[in-house]
Structure 1
Amino acid sequence: MIPEDLFYSEEHEWVRLDDEIATVGITDFAQGQLGDIVYVELPAVGDRVEAGAVIGELESTKSVSDIFSPLSGEIVARNESLDGGPEVINSDPYGEGWLIKLRPLDDDPTSGLLEAEAYAALTAD
């Protein structure tokens, strides 16, 4: 199930915009491809990131994968609970498994992202 109220990157991150703050995580499709996530490396609060840039890593029982920022902006929060329990990304990728929150720099931050229908087409077998 792909939530309709989010935006998506081709690298399988999702974005939820709330009052000029964007919450970012990885999609259910991505966590399913990765398998059991055992470690997460995230950027620090205050870091400035560019859309498309590598901002961290997810380590799973299968591989290590880069996390790409879907937006340019400044990190305002990171999900500290993932340090002790990264497996929540597998069980709740669109909720408690969020990765970072950032303040977008662009006037129209979602212009380069996909809506749910387009993301569904991208991940269809």
Structure 2
Amino acid sequence: MKIKVCGLKDPSNIAKIVQLPIDMIGFILFPGSPRFVGKKNGLPQWLEKNEEELEGIAKVGVFVNAEVDQILNAVHDYRLDFVQLHGDESPEYCRELQTYWTISSMRSARIIKAFRV
């Protein structure tokens, strides 16, 4: 079983959460959500500065119908290990996104696609 704490956006809360036995932390990168991270709180800089504290904890970005460029930038800025897609992204979209990481030297992330049933 993997434990993910999601919806985090305050660096001081994250500093406390990562002391717990968790596997993943999640950031909502969908502007329509009340838990949207944005960049105003300095989270990307905090993540870079505290990289050692976060070792062994995967960082997940949650997106809804985002543009590929937005996702690629967020993977870099937030040092994401996973991209979790919660919109209407097609299999073709997921393949296109994966292709960017395959053909480039940019930081890559694994894709998690949520499906509605």
TM over 0.5: no
State the TM-score, normalizing by the size of structure 2: 0.25
State the TM-score, normalizing by the size of structure 1: 0.24
Greater share of strand residues, 1 or 2? Answer: 1
Greater share of helix residues, 1 or 2? Answer: 2
Tell which has more relative contact order, 1 or 2 (C-alpha 8 A, sep 6+): 1
